[in-house]
């Protein structure tokens, strides 16, 4: 990763030519978005992704595909906007980094300046008392490229990265396409297990059978081991970038995932929950004023910058699960549409105290989660019945009313222990959609593992905007 024209492509091309030439058929490397390099009897897989978007699409879907990022910075140019953007992505992904200071073959280099600029963005190399390794290279001449590769091997050893060929299959999609003749084509890297010819494979509930495997040198393969890249044919549908390929359908892996459960007690984790914001404003001074009103114990500011909201901001917000807060900046129709498609919330303000008031309300809700909830009804669980394998809560309404579609808390000794979702509501033998104060009825829940007991309280509420 790194700024444009700092030598990422040149470095990748050098590695291809010098390390893969002997294995290539006719000197042509099969372009699958990834390839392997042998170093000291060990293999390093380099992922050639088209920019930062693919990098994050992989991680958004739970595929921690990159073990180490090589951040390329030109020795004659230093840290540039895309370098800073790369650093943000690296930090957000929480992935280790090795810095390659490139173009040391040029006359006007200033390596110390590059390291100082990196330090300004919290990338502290070992020369500056940090723990980030930096290697000075020339991707054009190949100088010190071997040293860079050795550093990556050492880093991998320190991280204790282990492969498990015998484990259940898990491969991540690096690139994918629809071929007129071959159908769905997926370029993958095996993370664990072994991918074999004629093996049944699945992406979620969609499946297929491995009909063909081609490695990064264009050779036909019988199997791919952990860390190995390859191109496979045989999936019925084109998988998205970052999708996980397994040898078991999702319905057999985790049936519970298909039906959300809300009966987890999250109170033990409340001290770890934080608000996540990306700040955009018209001036740097305004950004600082907004940031000063954010308690660092309650708020993580993922990024802040002056200017319009961009596609990169949307991408970063989606990855981080953050909201974008804007003060007196333009939000174009294209950005609004993109944010809606990616389920990213953008809130725009023209009055500074309204924006700060919004942040303060959200911070207060972390301390008191029910502060903006309006209770509409309460019921006590008086009996528990079982019928056809279902647990039924026999309840009596003590106040207000409870509707079938209401949001609910399950309370025990005034503590919230679950978030029930009503599946059905009965009054006698008749199915109803609500119960009123004084009324009695039987309720079943969608949360099949909900642990409710006699004496527990159901609280119906809505969130006040």
What pLDDT does 61 receive? Answer: 42
Q: Are residues 140 and 250 in the same domain?
A: no
Residue 363: exposed, middle, or buried by beta-carbon count in 10 A (0-12, 13-18, 19+)? Answer: middle
pLDDT tens digits, one per residue of 320-373: 889 999 999 888 888 988 898 888 999 999 888 889 888 988 887 777 766 678
Q: Are residues 134 and 26 in the same domain?
A: yes
**Main-chain dihedrals φ then ψ at residue 2, nearest 5 degrees:** 155, -175
pLDDT tens digits, one per residue of 127-160: 998 999 999 999 999 999 999 999 999 998 888 8
The 8-class DSSP code of residue 21 comes to: G
Closest CA to 425 of 395, 386, 385, 458: 395
**Main-chain dihedrals φ then ψ at residue 256, nearest 5 degrees:** -65, -25
Q: Are residues 25 and 139 in the same domain?
A: yes
Q: Which helix H or strand E contains 383, and what residues bound it?
A: strand 373-387
Residue 163 lies in a domain: no
Could you give the CA distance from residue 434 to residue 456 in angstroms, rounded to a whole number? 19
Q: Using DSSP bridges, classify how beta strands 390-403 and 373-387 pair: parallel, antiparallel or unpaired.
A: antiparallel
In the chain the first and final C-alpha atoms are separated, in Å, by 42
**Main-chain dihedrals φ then ψ at residue 205, nearest 5 degrees:** -95, -10
Q: How far is CA 111 from CA 35, 99, 151, 378, in A?
A: 30, 12, 18, 67
Q: Are residues 358 and 393 in the same domain?
A: no
What pLDDT does 404 receive? Answer: 92
Q: Are residues 202 and 117 in the same domain?
A: no
Residue 165 lies in a domain: no
Residue 164 lies in a domain: no
What pLDDT does 376 receive? Answer: 94
The 8-class DSSP code of residue 412 comes to: E
Domain boundary, last residue among 219, 238, 258? 258
Q: Are residues 183 and 136 in the same domain?
A: no
Could you give the CA distance from residue 14 to residue 35 in angstroms, rounded to a whole number? 13
Residue 341 lies in a domain: yes
pTM of the model: 0.52
Could you give the CA distance from residue 303 to residue 301 in angstroms, rounded to a whole number? 6
Could you give the CA distance from residue 165 to residue 148 in angstroms, rounded to a whole number? 27
Structural domains in the chain (count): 4
Is residue 302 within 8 A of residue 277, CB to CB? The reply is yes
Residue 464: helix, strand or coil by DSSP?
Answer: coil
pLDDT lower than 70: segments of the chain? 18-33, 48-64, 250-272, 369-371, 465
The 8-class DSSP code of residue 285 comes to: H
Could you give the CA distance from residue 133 to residue 447 in angstroms, rounded to a whole number? 49
Q: Tell me, what CATH number does 310's domain have?
A: 3.40.50.10050
| Helix intervals (H) in 215-275 | 250-253, 255-258
What pLDDT does 49 receive? Answer: 55
Annotate 69-94 with three-state secondary structure: EEEEEECCCCCCHHHHHHHHHHHHHC
Q: Are residues 248 and 297 in the same domain?
A: no
Residue 251 lies in a domain: yes
Could you give the CA distance from residue 352 to residue 349 in angstroms, rounded to a whole number? 7
Closest CA to 75 of 107, 111, 105: 111
Is residue 118 within 8 A of residue 125, CB to CB? The reply is yes
**Main-chain dihedrals φ then ψ at residue 444, nearest 5 degrees:** -110, 155
Residue 279 lies in a domain: yes
Q: Are residues 321 and 410 in the same domain?
A: no
Residue 232 lies in a domain: yes
Is residue 407 within 8 A of residue 461, CB to CB? The reply is yes
Residue 1 lies in a domain: no
43, β-bridge pairs: 38
Q: Residue 75: which domain range?
A: 8-158
Q: Are residues 358 and 380 in the same domain?
A: no
What pLDDT does 151 receive? Answer: 96
Cα angle 60, 62, 67; round to 5? 100
The 8-class DSSP code of residue 215 comes to: E
Residue 366 tokens, joined: 């972390």
Q: Are residues 60 and 152 in the same domain?
A: yes
Q: What is the separation of C-alpha 374 from the centre of its chain, rounded to a whole number of angstroms?
A: 33
Could you give the CA distance from residue 242 to residue 258 in angstroms, rounded to a whole number? 19
Q: Are residues 181 and 145 in the same domain?
A: no
Q: Could you give the dihedral angle defined by the CA atoms of residues 158, 164, 168 and 171, in that order, rounded to the nearest 10 degrees?
A: 60
Closest CA to 442 of 452, 431, 453: 431
Could you give the CA distance from residue 358 to residue 346 in angstroms, rounded to a whole number? 13
What pLDDT does 148 receive? Answer: 96
Q: Tell me, what CATH number does 119's domain have?
A: 3.40.50.300
Beta-strand ranges (E) seen in 373-448 are: 373-387, 390-403, 407-412, 415-418, 422-427, 430-431, 434-436, 440-445
Q: Are residues 405 and 282 in the same domain?
A: no
Q: Tell me, what CATH number does 222's domain have?
A: 2.40.30.10
Domain boundary, last residue among 313, 345, 367? 367
Domain boundary, last residue among 212, 238, 258? 258
Could you give the CA distance from residue 461 to residue 465 in angstroms, rounded to a whole number? 13
Is residue 406 within 8 A of residue 422, CB to CB? The reply is yes
């Amino acid at each position: 990763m790194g700024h444009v024209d700092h030598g990422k492509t040149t470095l990748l091309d050098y590695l291809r030519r010098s390390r893969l030439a002997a294995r290539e058929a006719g000197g042509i490397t099969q372009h699958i978005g990834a390839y392997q390099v042998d170093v000291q009897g060990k293999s390093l897989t380099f992922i050639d992704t088209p920019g930062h978007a693919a990098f994050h699409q992989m991680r958004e879907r739970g595929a921690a595909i990159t073990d180490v990022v090589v951040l390329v910075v030109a020795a004659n140019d230093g840290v540039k906007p895309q370098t800073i953007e790369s650093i943000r992505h690296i930090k957000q992904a929480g992935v280790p980094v090795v810095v390659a200071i490139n173009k040391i073959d040029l006359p006007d280099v200033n390596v110390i300046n590059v390291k100082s600029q990196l330090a300004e963005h919290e990338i502290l190399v070992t020369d500056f008392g940090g723990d980030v390794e930096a290697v000075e290279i020339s991707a054009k001449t190949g100088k010190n490229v071997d040293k860079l590769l050795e550093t990556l091997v050492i880093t991998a050893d320190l991280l204790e990265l282990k492969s498990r060929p015998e484990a259940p299959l898990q491969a991540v999609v690096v690139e994918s396409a629809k071929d007129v003749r071959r159908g769905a084509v997926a370029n993958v890297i095996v993370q664990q297990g072994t991918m074999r010819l004629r093996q049944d494979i699945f992406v979620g509930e969609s499946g297929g059978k491995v009909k063909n495997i081609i490695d990064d040198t264009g050779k036909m393969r019988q199997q791919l081991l952990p860390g190995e890249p390859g191109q496979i044919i045989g999936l019925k549908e084109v998988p998205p970038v970052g999708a996980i390929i397994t040898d078991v359908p999702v319905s057999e892996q985790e049936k519970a995932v298909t039906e959300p459960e809300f009966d987890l007690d999250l109170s033990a984790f409340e001290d770890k929950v934080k608000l996540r914001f990306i700040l955009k404003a018209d001036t740097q001074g305004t950004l600082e004023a907004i940031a000063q009103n954010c308690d660092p114990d309650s708020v993580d500011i993922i990024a802040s910058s002056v200017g319009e909201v961009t596609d990169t901001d949307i991408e970063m917000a989606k990855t981080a699960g953050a909201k974008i807060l804007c003060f007196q900046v333009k939000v174009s129709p294209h950005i609004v549409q993109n944010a809606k498609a990616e389920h990213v919330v953008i809130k725009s303000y023209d009055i500074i105290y309204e924006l700060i008031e919004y942040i303060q309300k959200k911070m207060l809700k972390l301390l008191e989660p029910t502060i903006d909830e309006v209770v509409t009804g309460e019921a006590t669980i008086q009996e528990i019945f079982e019928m056809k394998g279902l647990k039924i809560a026999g309840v009596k309404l003590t106040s207000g009313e409870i509707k079938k579609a209401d949001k609910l808390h399950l309370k025990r000794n005034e503590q919230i222990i679950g978030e029930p979702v009503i599946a059905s509501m009965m009054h006698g033998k008749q199915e109803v959609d609500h119960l009123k104060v004084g009324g009695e009825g039987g309720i079943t829940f969608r949360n099949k593992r909900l642990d409710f007991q006699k004496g527990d309280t159901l609280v119906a509420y809505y969130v006040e905007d």
